[in-house]
Amino acid sequence: MKIYSWNPRRYRAPGFIGRFITYGPRINNFGDLLGPLIVNEVRRQLSLGCPVQQSRRTLYSVGSVLHFASDNDYIWGTGRNGKIPDEAHKFSNLKVSAVRGPRTAKFLADRGVAVPPVYGDPGLLVPHLFPETLSWTENKTSAVSIVPNLNEWSAYQGRTNVINPVDNVWEVIQSIAGSEMVVGSSLHGIVIAEALGVPARLVVPRSEPLFKYQDYFEGTGRHNIDFAASVEEAIAMGGAPALQWQPTELLQAFPRQLWTDAQSQTGTINAS
């Protein structure tokens, strides 16, 4: 069984031919690397063993990667990418236990895919699965940190207190935890900040539709959130309404059946 993580290689050759050369370094966007880390930690804490041999499917978790799924793949907290056309989604049947938010749920339901009303980006589980990250919030090193979307990093390089989203995952999370406030266009910059209790405000991205951001906020019970047009406006607005989301339902929806173990039906995770 494969635990999906979007992490393509950058192209090294210029022009049209370069699009077909795949030996460049991987992008390593921190938000997209969270999926396998979270899934494997849930599996460890539930004392689950080896993957079920006959499944031979892919589990999708963190990310706007729904369009990569194929028939009979598993979906746990995944979201739709608003810039991907409908026809690029080739599946007709998925095994869905949770999605990121109601907009992804509606998209799937309109295609005849059964979706339970369980919402939440698995990135929100970071402080529950890795409690040491909460201790990092006790050492504030920055009043405001900017976490740009991967595709907008170059536009922010001249500013101070900018967190590079392709730095080491744990270093990025520690920098977010050490901030008094986080602003920017990185979805998982916002997700991780809010999970750790750090006020956050989205700056409307230039390169991304708002679908995935609205999906996330609505999946955590917050509708009609105001987004900022600039970093300065985001700082003036302050953090979005506080996160009220609880992890219990998302954890209970974890697809344990993909692993074999005698304890797989009794293991639990402390979600407090």
| Cα–chain center distance at 130 | 16
Q: Domain spans of the chain? A: 2-123+247-260, 125-237
The 10s digit of each residue's pLDDT in 63-91 is 999 999 999 999 999 999 999 999 999 99
> Which residue's entry shows tokens 């998982």?
188
pLDDT higher for 2 or 271? Answer: 2
The 10s digit of each residue's pLDDT in 107-119 is 999 999 999 999 9
| Burial class of residue 107 in the structure, from the number of CB atoms within 10 Å of its CB (0-12 exposed, 13-18 middle, 19+ buried) | buried
Does position 266 have pLDDT exceeding 90, yes or no?
no
The 10s digit of each residue's pLDDT in 133-165 is 999 999 999 999 999 999 998 898 888 999 999
Does position 252 have pLDDT exceeding 80, yes or no?
yes
Give the per-residue pLDDT at 262: 46
Query: pTM above 0.85?
Result: yes
The 10s digit of each residue's pLDDT in 7-28 is 887 655 566 655 565 566 788 8
d(CA 123, CA 121): 5
SS (H, E, C) the chain: CEECCCCCECCCCCHHHHCCCCCCCECCCHHHHHHHHHHHHHHHHCCCCEECCCCCCEEECCCCCHHHCCCCCEEEEECCCCCCCHHHCCCCCCEEEEECCHHHHHHHHHCCCCCCCCECCHHHHHHHHCCHHHHHHHCCCEEEEECCCHHHHHHHCCCCCECCCCCCHHHHHHHHHCEEEEEECCHHHHHHHHHCCCCEEEECCCCCCCHHHHHHHHHCCCCCCCCECCHHHHHHHCCCCCCCCCCHHHHHCCCHHHEECCCCCCCCCCCC
Mean pLDDT computed over 82-109: 97
Give the per-residue pLDDT at 1: 79
